[in-house]
Amino acid sequence: MVTMYFSAGLIPWYITMHNLHLTNNYLAYILPTIITPFNIILVKTFVEAIPPSLEESASMDGAGYMRVFWNIIVPLTTPILATITFFFAVNQWNSFIDTAFLMTDTKYFTLQFLLWRYLNESSSLAALIRNSPDMAASVANMQTPTSVRMTVTMIVVLPILIVYPFFQRFFVKGIDRCG
């Protein structure tokens, strides 16, 4: 539980990622956060809520440990696995620090990082256009920094809003059984 509240910090994280050769590598987005203490607690609580009589009846019918696991436990844990997958996806979707520190090749940049760069560049670009005497200045005055921020926010949130309804039934089942 201590690892849920305290981390080693940014410098040890970067050194570890560099030593594992996860710079400029897609695995840097997956491996560090695939197993977290919170997710382990959720799965453990969910599995403990499965009635032991299901395992007992399967073993009485001659099923071994692996057969009980694959045919009884895994199908029953689909809701919690979908919930954790959704948590993982949202966490990675909202993260751009990994890209900022670990990626130098543009082909590994995430959408969040690119939108953050565009947002920072749009302010300076709008100021440059506003200071020019051309006709484009009237267009720049129509585009405020707030409108750019709102557009970027919609681009960031829209995919999660589209995916959530498909995962909602698993999400509700997965969390309800843990409580």
What 3-state class would DSSP assign to 29?
A: helix
Per-residue pLDDT of the chain (179 residues; tens, 9 = 90+): 787 788 888 899 899 999 999 999 989 988 888 888 888 998 999 999 889 898 888 888 888 889 989 988 999 898 888 888 888 888 887 778 889 999 999 898 888 888 888 777 776 766 666 666 665 555 555 666 677 777 777 887 888 788 878 777 766 665 555 55
Interatomic CA distance for residues 120 and 89, integer angstroms? 25
Write down the pLDDT at residue 176: 59
Tell me the C-alpha to C-alpha distance, in Å, between residue 174 and each of 84, 85, 106, 145, 155: 9, 11, 37, 41, 28
CB 174 within 8 A of CB 82: yes
| C-alpha closest to that of 14 among 2, 6, 5, 23 | 23
What is the set of domains in the chain, with CATH numbers? 2-178 (1.10.3720.10)
> What is the model's pTM?
0.68
Written in H, E and C, the secondary structure of 61-105 is CCCCHHHHHHHHHHHHCHHHHHHHHHHHHHHHHCCCHHHHHHCCC
Write down the pLDDT at residue 97: 86
